């Protein structure tokens, strides 16, 4: 089963999200009231670790576990999609969180997040529908 390692990694991440209080609705509110360092601290530390790791991977041309070179695609350069998309994402996130939260909160028994997840799928579908007419 080649997918087992991803399930195990997911279980680990679900544990991290819960123990790290990243899924706590109150924590996001605190973050966005610029009133607590908790989530900012997590992002800054994660990026410090991630950036160091990726730099080492590039410097030493480290391969992935199946022996292929690791290539991390650059994000397409533009402004509008990131500014407008980021803004809308922020408005929604402040109320209902992001995908990682939706999945983890379902596991924690907050079944309202099943509805929220379904709404997020509708939002994703709406983007696909309107993509042609949106500035990117």
Partner 1 sequence: MDFNILTDHWHWSFTGIMVGAMMLLLTLFGKFFGLSSTYRVLCAIGGAGKKVAFFRFDWKDQLWNLFFVGGIILGAFLTRHFIPESQETTLSEHTQAFMFRLGMIEKVDADQLLPFAPDKLFNTTSPLFPSAALILCFGGFLSGFGSRYAGGCTSGHFVSGLSNLQIPSLITLIFFLIGGILSTSFFLPFLLNNL
Contacting partner 1 within 66-85 (CB under 8 A): 66, 68, 70, 72-79, 81-85
Closest separation in Å from C-beta 47 to partner 1: 5
Task: For residue 56, give Cα distances in angstroms to 25, 44, 136.
Answer: 35, 18, 33
Q: Tokens 């997590």 label which residue?
A: 42
Closest separation in Å from C-beta 88 to partner 1: 3
Closest separation in Å from C-beta 22 to partner 1: 7
Task: For residue 19, give Cα distances in angstroms to 23, 25, 56, 62.
Answer: 9, 14, 28, 31
Count of residues that interact with partner 1, criterion CB under 8 A: 113
Strand partners, 63: 69
Q: Which residues ranging from 76 to 135 are in contact with partner 1 (CB under 8 A)? A: 76-79, 81-100, 102-113, 115-129, 131, 134
């Amino acid at each position: 089963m080649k997918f087992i390692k991803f399930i195990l990694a997911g279980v680990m991440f679900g544990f991290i999200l819960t123990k790290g209080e990243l899924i706590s609705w109150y924590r996001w509110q605190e973050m966005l009231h610029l009133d607590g360092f908790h989530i900012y601290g997590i992002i800054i530390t994660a990026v410090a670790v991630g950036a160091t790791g990726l730099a080492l991977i590039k410097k030493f041309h480290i391969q992935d576990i199946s022996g292929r070179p690791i290539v991390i695609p650059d994000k397409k350069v533009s402004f509008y999609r990131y500014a407008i998309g980021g803004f809308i994402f922020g408005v929604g996130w402040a109320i209902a969180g992001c995908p990682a939260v939706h999945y983890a909160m379902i596991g924690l028994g907050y079944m309202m997040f099943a509805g929220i997840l379904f709404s997020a799928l509708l939002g994703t579908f709406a983007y696909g529908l309107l993509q042609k007419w949106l500035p990117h």
